[in-house]
A and B are shown apart, each in its own frame.
Chain A
Amino acid sequence: MPSGTVIPPSTQLGWRETSSLSGTGLTIGVLAMQGAFVEHVRVLTKLGATVREVRLPRDLDGLDGIILPGGESTTIGKLLEAWGVLVPLRSAIARGLPTWGTCAGAILMARDVTDTLPGQPLLSVMDISVRRNAFGRQVQSFETVIVIDGMDTDVPFPAMFIRAPKIESVGPGATAIATLDDGTIVAARQGTWLATSFHPELTSDARFHAWFLDIARANLEHSSDPGFAGAAMP
């Protein structure tokens, strides 16, 4: 794109087919307490996964992975606690359940959160520090494109930041996999866990979801291997 030409990424890219139905045979949960969960359900379904909305502890049984969507982290956290989902979900993730948090979901996953409410229920599993609403209020929300390390393509990914959190640091267990031009970390990976400040589910680009499904499938095959001890982290 020539410099000076400003075209929102969400409108310049069409649906990027990832060729495969990479979700076939996988059961993926999408936390459905509040927020943009239907958008994730739609992409996962399109990629062939069996999708289950998660609102109660019993919805966690038999999942091969789970997505924690964008929304209000304070609302989602309170609902997780009120319905007894917080503790079993945290245990499932700690046992290695492939998990991807977008925006509010990334806040819930982070071990350390700045600028949330005192006593806010969080999952606190992933070795990242996150600052809530770090880019400012809604008028500072923006779109850009970024490159994701580990995704097997050089085509930049459209990224939408909506009252988004920043990943201020990654601990020894986690790796930064995407940054803005100014160095701000906006995506991280820790084994089978992904956290993004932005919203692939709001774009027409399914590559990030396909990548998460690949991680979930690899985990499933790995854990059915008799030598696998079920350790949390590779």
Chain B
Amino acid sequence: MTTITDRPVASQVSANGATGVHARTESTWAVKRGLAQMLKGGVIMDVVTSDQAKIAEDAGACAVMALERVPADIRKSGGVARMSDPDLIRAICESVTIPVMAKARIGHFVEAQVLEALGVDYIDESEVLTPADDEFHIDKHGFKVPFVCGCRDLGEALRRVGEGAAMIRTKGEAGTGNVVEAVRHARAVLGEIRKIRSLPIEELMTEAKRLGAPYELIREIHSTGVLPVVNFAAGGIATPSDAALMMQIGVDGVFVGSGIFKSENPAKMARAIVMATTHFRDAGIVAEVSRGVGEPMRGLEVASMPAGERLASRGW
């Protein structure tokens, strides 16, 4: 079955096409999605310096997210949060051997072009930064570099996949150290997938309309029972148990933002979260790795948070 997610990207090139025998095709949909598949079962950590990036890599992070301030500090400092300084991103890229991701503002396709030019391995079109467009997201099919995007439910996830996101994450509520929103969003996505699986085929178009999702992707999920791309949890994960909780709920891996470098002992916390993500079904191991990791980051109660301070409501 050919689906819209099989659509080749505009920027494909043939590196040695001159010979014509076994042409190379760069940045295909499968290759973009494939890197996310390599990250599965792993932990992607927010880092703001090269030193932090090294700590993350040494602790077993499968990738790092390079940014100027972790979400908890973005919340505190206010103002407009933008793409990070290219020098910082380049320094982090040079300091580690694992993949490096970086964030662009929602709809800010020029920030994304700059990040692609810098050579980052994945772009997060992220609600954690201040949106640059309050109506439209980036056309991600038009880039060679793959994108990850946040979602609160299946409709939002599939709109982003339709635009070309090769990986999805829950939004959660970044910078709070409170996992409740990530749980809500993961359950919404996975619950809606289970529902689509159970629907008779004639109800799928109306379901696509209700979710605001591309019909072809709803059809694909109806037959496969899974998202067409890798799905990570993000937003509020602060402990090894939080990571294992998200894995047991059914995500493919976790992002930890403020939860590592806002904790008392980042190196220990990072390593413990990596261990708990691998052995997420083994409570004995999660208990063992959770010992002596020090204080997790101080959390925020999301329910009492004014609507304007919630980052998850950004994105359309």
Chain A interface (Cβ < 8 Å from any Cβ of B): 1, 3-4, 6-11, 32-39, 55, 70-72, 74-75, 78-79, 82-83, 103-104, 115-117, 132-133, 137-146, 156, 160-163, 180-182, 199, 202-203
Q: How far is the CA of A76 from the CA of B258 in the complex (A)?
A: 24
B119 CB to closest chain A CB (Å) equals: 5
* B216 adjacent to chain A (CB < 8 Å): no
Closest 3 CB pairs of A and B: A3-B20, A138-B121, A10-B30
Q: How far is the CA of A74 from the CA of B61 in the complex (A)?
A: 8
Q: Is the CB of A6 within 8 A of B57?
A: no
B24 CB to closest chain A CB (Å) equals: 4
A182 nearest CB neighbor, chain B only = B16
Known contacts A79-B278, A182-B16; A34/B97 CB under 8 A: no
Interface string of B24-38 (1 = CB under 8 A from A): 111111110011011
Q: Is the CB of B119 within 8 A of A137?
A: yes
Q: Is the CB of B38 within 8 A of A103?
A: yes
Q: How far is the CA of A17 from the CA of B144 in the complex (A)?
A: 32
B189 CB to closest chain A CB (Å) equals: 18
* B77 adjacent to chain A (CB < 8 Å): no
Q: In the assembled complex, which residues on chain B have CB atoms less than 8 Å from the CB atom of A146?
A: 22
Q: Is the CB of B121 within 8 A of A163?
A: yes
A70 nearest CB neighbor, chain B only = B38
A103 nearest CB neighbor, chain B only = B38
* B201 adjacent to chain A (CB < 8 Å): no
B34 CB to closest chain A CB (Å) equals: 5
Pick from A36, A103, A116, A117 the residue with the most CB of B within 10 Å.
A36
Known contacts A72-B63, A82-B275, A181-B22; A11/B42 CB under 8 A: no
* B40 adjacent to chain A (CB < 8 Å): yes
Q: How far is the CA of A161 from the CA of B93 in the complex (A)?
A: 20
Among B6-14, B170-178, B300-308, the one that faces the other chain is: B6-14
Q: Is the CB of B27 within 8 A of A141?
A: yes
Q: Is the CB of A139 within 8 A of B116?
A: yes
Pick from A35, A39, A139, A156 the residue with the most CB of B within 10 Å.
A139
Q: How far is the CA of A55 from the CA of B41 in the complex (A)?
A: 12
Q: In the assembled complex, which residues on chain B have CB atoms less than 8 Å from the CB atom of A181?
A: 16, 19, 21-22
Count: A-B pairs, CB below 8 Å: 166
Q: Is the CB of A163 within 8 A of B275?
A: no
Q: List 8 A-B contacts (CB under 8 A).
A: A4-B17, A6-B23, A8-B29, A11-B30, A32-B278, A78-B60, A117-B57, A144-B25
Q: Is the CB of B38 within 8 A of A35?
A: yes
Q: How far is the CA of A24 from the CA of B304 in the complex (A)?
A: 57
Q: In the assembled complex, which residues on chain A have CB atoms less than 8 Å from the CB atom of B145?
A: 138-139
Q: Is the CB of A35 within 8 A of B40?
A: yes
Interface string of B81-103 (1 = CB under 8 A from A): 00000000000010001110000
* B198 adjacent to chain A (CB < 8 Å): no
Contact of A3 among B17, B24, B39, B277 (CB under 8 A): B17
Q: Is the CB of B97 within 8 A of A115?
A: yes
Pick from B27, B31, B60 the residue with the most CB of A within 10 Å.
B31
* B227 adjacent to chain A (CB < 8 Å): no
Q: In the assembled complex, which residues on chain B have CB atoms less than 8 Å from the CB atom of A55?
A: 278-279, 282
Q: In the assembled complex, which residues on chain A have CB atoms less than 8 Å from the CB atom of B30?
A: 8, 10-11, 143, 160, 202-203
Q: Is the CB of A38 within 8 A of B19?
A: no
Q: Is the CB of A8 within 8 A of B25?
A: yes
Q: How far is the CA of A144 from the CA of B120 in the complex (A)?
A: 23
Q: Other than the known A3-B20, A156-B22, what 6 A-B pairs have Cβ atoms closer than 8 Å?
A: A32-B278, A34-B40, A75-B60, A79-B275, A139-B121, A143-B31
Q: In the assembled complex, which residues on chain B have CB atoms less than 8 Å from the CB atom of A117?
A: 57-58, 97
